[in-house]
Amino acid sequence: MPEALDTSAKKLPAGEPATVPVPVDAKAEKTRSLWSDAWHDLRRSPMFVISAVLIVLLLVMAAFPGLFTGASPRDADLSNHYLGAPNWSHFFQADWLGYDGQGRSIWARMVHGARASIIVSVGVTALVTILGTLVGVLAGYFGGWLDAILFRLTDVFSGIPFMLGAMVVLTTFAERTVWVVVLALAFLGWTTIARVARGSVITIKQADYVTAAKALGASTSRILFRHILPNAIAPVIVVATIALGGYIAAEATLSYLGIGLAEPTVSWGIDVSAGKDQLRNAPHVLMMPSVMVSITVLAFLMFGEAVRNALDPKMR
């Protein structure tokens, strides 16, 4: 007699299809990191896309002005004294925006003026980010007397009005080049990032993975650079990107007041200062560099806002 079949398994009801377990894709199970998740959101943000396109265009203009105009921003011809007005049919030609009081092409000066503003803003942002992060990380991680000293120093610099302090510092220099302005603004602008970095480090150093790294005997440098800094840098990046647009406005303001960049440097702030007396007779001389400053500041502020929305969990 044949051996009986095992009937311990449940029989499926008639007409019910058999279900086969489907293997779960390992990539679908994988949780995205903070940065990949932020990039996933940024790519779908219209604010980020628009601001990124404008910033890339400005960077290309600053790096390769010859792609936009063949005229020199310093060539002056008094026969063109305030000659012409915006002529849209001659777009991208040297004279399509007319000429300033010295007979220089307004369009050429707008294109070449982007370089000074971009260098100042990026240079100041890089310096204040490095200095502020260093001060904030050291004060937040070690605490004690080092924290007290560093943050009493931070309080002293925070008590100095930013624009007034920059004016005082810049007036001590006989020649105010781009790098002098960068150093003057960075000398006073690092305190906000230092406070943000300190608060972030104080929160992160209490995490379990930092405690575990200490228990395993990890060195201080390894804990700082492998565990704390990568997780504390996100709010610093947010503050830095938002502040970048403010440094462009600060440079233009100082140049307008005659305390920032000076001739022969080509700057939007210098052109705004030169055109303010001709607002009735030749308003385009004042308006065109002012529009460029506004667009550039707006682009960086939009970029910083989009980054903040992507990196800040509270904004989700």
Binned at pLDDT 50, 70 and 90, residue 13 comes out as low
139 Cβ partners below 8 Å, 6+ apart?
146, 147, 150, 151, 194, 198
Q: What is the pLDDT of residues 34-82, one digit of tens each?
A: 667 778 778 888 899 999 999 999 999 999 998 888 888 888 877 777 7
131-171 pLDDT, tens digit each: 999 999 999 998 889 999 998 999 999 999 999 999 999 98
The span from the CA of 261 to the CA of 67, in Å, is 25
In whole angstroms, give the CA distance from residue 36 to residue 42.
Answer: 10
Residue with tokens 């007409």: 15
Residues 257-278 pLDDT 10s: 888 888 888 899 888 888 888 7
CATH architecture type of domain 33-65+97-315: Orthogonal Bundle (1.10)
pLDDT-based confidence at 128, cuts 50/70/90? Answer: very high
Contacts of 174 (CB under 8 A, 6+ apart): none
d(Cα 292, Cα 161) in Å, to the nearest integer? 26
98 in Cβ contact with 83 (< 8 Å):
yes
pLDDT (average), residues 194-213: 89
How far is it, in rounded angstroms, from Cα 209 to Cα 170? Answer: 46
Burial 293-304 (b: 16+ CB within 10 A, else e): beebbebbbbbb
Task: Classify residue 167 as exposed, middle or buried by CB count within 10 Å of its CB (0-12, 13-18, 19+).
Answer: middle
DSSP string, 244-313: HHHHHHHHHHHHHTTSS--TTS--HHHHHHHHGGGTTT-HHHHHHHHHHHHHHHHHHHHHHHHHHHHH-G
pLDDT at 148 (0 to 100):
92
Q: Which has more confidence, 89 or 289?
A: 289
Instruction: Return the SS3 of 105.
Output: strand
What confidence tens digit (pLDDT) does each residue in 72-88 have?
888 887 777 777 666 65
First to last CA, the chain: 70
Task: Report cis status (omega within 30 of 0) of the bond before 264.
Answer: yes
- Please report the pLDDT score of residue 22 as a whole number: 47
| Per-residue pLDDT at 93 exceeds 80 | no
Q: Which residue has the higher pLDDT, 283 or 136?
A: 136
Mean of pLDDT values over 105-120: 90
Top pLDDT among 316 and 96 is at 96
Q: In the prediction, which pLDDT does 131 show?
A: 94
pLDDT at 34: 65
Alpha helices in 143-206 (DSSP H): 144-158, 162-170, 178-188, 191-204
CA distance 232 to 224: 10
Q: Provide mean pLDDT across the span 240-258.
A: 90
Given a contact cutoff of 8 angstroms between Cβ atoms, the answer to whether 240 and 299 are in contact is no
Summary mean pLDDT of the chain: 82
Angle, helices 162-170/178-188, rounded to nearest 10 degrees: 140
pLDDT for position 25: 47
Counting residues of the chain whose pLDDT is more than 90, the rounded percentage is 35
Q: Are 264 and 175 in contact (CB under 8 A)?
A: no
